[in-house]
Amino acid sequence: MADEGPSAKRWLPLEANPDVMNQFLWGLGVPPDDAECYDVFGLDEELLEMVPKPVLAVLFLFPITQQSEEDRIKEDSLTKDPSAGVYFMKQTVGNACGTIGLLHAVGNITSEINLLEGSYLDKFFKTTANMNAQERAAFLENDREMEVAHSVAATGGDTEARDDVDTHFICFTCVNGQLYELDGRRSGPVLHGSSSSSSLLQDVAKVIQKTIEKNPDSLNFNVMAISKKV
């Protein structure tokens, strides 16, 4: 979760743990009976079918390697104008990628969930709705309430939080029938083709599998789904 941008600010990284993510989201305004994070234990069809549906977004944690950095630079040419109906923000705080992944997820599924009125997330998305990606990053960087909430979540996992990690969270979600990869270290959303609420997890699994195949010696991958509770 490398630093991005000019900011010298660094947070402790979030653990790839559904319990941590759920308490974080629920505490910020996502109703517990509306959406929940779940582990995705594997990318084959049988294990994907175990994940509660419908899946609204997917968080993917992967190792930062020379290969991943080369791919990021090369694929940045595929990024799409974030003004095209996609909520996107840059990352300027070190180790904030877990929080930004969650903000990318929730920011693009507000029509599917009912944020508690007056909650942190309700106010955050209303305030930043008309900002560009860099302005949203600056807003988050100076947001003390989120910094405290992130710190509480980061120290609430099963492992000791350290800031010298080499992994990174990104988010995948479907907007207007298209699958987008949302990574605050990129210049904008990456379009991966058509998708739908019924096929989102399977579509994301295909993209993730390609990343894993490029890093065959690493086991440091994690996939979580944010599913609507019905």
Active site residues: 97, 168
**Bridge partners of residue 10, in order along the sequence:** 94
| Two structure tokens written together for 184 | 């605050």
Dist. CA 191–CA 2, nearest whole Å: 23
Backbone angles phi, psi at 140, to 5 degrees: -65, -40
Are 40 and 202 a contacting pair, CB within 8 Å? no
b/e burial code for range 96-134 (CB count within 10 A of at least 16 → b) = bbbbbbbbbbbbbbeebbebeeeebbbebbeebeeeebe
Instruction: Give the DSSP H/E element, type plus range, for residue 56.
Output: strand 55-63
CA atoms within 13 A on the CB side of 104: 32
Are 26 and 32 a contacting pair, CB within 8 Å? yes
Dist. CA 134–CA 131, nearest whole Å: 8
